[in-house]
Amino acid sequence: MIKQLPITLLLLITLGATAQKKRTFLYGLLIDELGVIPNAHVINLTTKQGTFSNDIGKFRILAKPSDSLQISFVGYQTKKIEVTSLHFGMEENEIKLMKAPFELEEVEIKKHNLIGSIAIDIKQTPKDIGMEKAKKALDFSKIDFSEKVILEIDEMDRSQAPNMRKTTDPTANFAGVGTSFSSGLDAYSQRLKKTRKTIKYKERFPKMLLSDFGEHFFFKELSIPKDRYLHFLEYCNPLGIEKLYKEKQLLKVIAILQQESKSYLKVINEKE
């Protein structure tokens, strides 16, 4: 005959297993009626650790079931969430915040001498000094529009060579020769600028990735050796992680890194 364990003992075992469960990243997206909410404050009330939502309303925070999250932002009602096992996974948790209602303070209406006639009251109303100055600045009555706007010699530019782009067509002197000189130079400059921008992004990519996902993700969760971090990113590059990161598809990047880390560790362990 199988003896049944007391209910109290079963509860203690369940609570102990939950308490020992390791905290992992919980991913969320903050929205309101109009769109995403950036820079909102998210705090785990259990661990007292906090973070902020990024420019597209997304955030991540270490948590586990039974933790409590508090989300707050100026102008919105503070929201508390009890974390459950359903909050974890590759899908984002979409969290909607509601606008906080506010009341206008009392306004004291002072006594005035207006009688209700526009013609009379307007004379007793103080003038808006800013508006008066703006009207004077837009007064073109004293300008002679028949006078030439562009002078033969620009008085302001006597100390330097004239800017020919202001008055002439830069390709006019090459009439009959062709237009490839100007357009070719511009095209080359554009290609050079684009190449430099691409190289700069590739140099910054490992630092940006480590800053967003954290050392704990790479070196603890994925078990990537620190001295192999750059090598691991090169291993994953053929799957387009740089492009996905630039397009803000962070969940796809994380999925690729998690999947490829297993095969990568096998490869480096076999070589060693």
Among 242, 244, 262, smallest CA distance to 252 is for 244
The answer as to whether 154 is a domain residue is no
The answer as to whether 224 is a domain residue is yes
Domain extent at residue 251 = 187-271
Give me the number of domains the chain comprises.
Answer: 2
Q: How confident is the model at residue 19 (pLDDT cuts 50, 70, 90)?
A: very low
Among 81, 34, 40, smallest CA distance to 58 is for 40
pTM for this model (two decimals): 0.34
The answer as to whether 3 is a domain residue is no
The answer as to whether 82 is a domain residue is yes
Structural domain ending residue among the three candidates 65, 96, 127: 96
- Residue 26 is predicted with a pLDDT of 92
Structural domain ending residue among the three candidates 75, 96, 117: 96
Q: What is the pLDDT of residues 172-212, one digit of tens each?
A: 454 444 444 444 557 778 888 888 888 888 889 999 988 88
The answer as to whether 219 is a domain residue is yes
The answer as to whether 172 is a domain residue is no
Q: Which residue has the higher pLDDT, 21 or 64?
A: 64
- Residue 7 is predicted with a pLDDT of 55
| End-to-end CA, the chain | 54
Mean pLDDT computed over every residue of the chain: 77
Q: What b/e string do you get for 144-170 counting C-beta neighbours within 10 Å, with b at 16 or more?
A: eeeeeeeeeeeeeeeeeeeeeeeeeee
The answer as to whether 246 is a domain residue is yes
Structural domain ending residue among the three candidates 39, 61, 96: 96
- Residue 100 is predicted with a pLDDT of 86
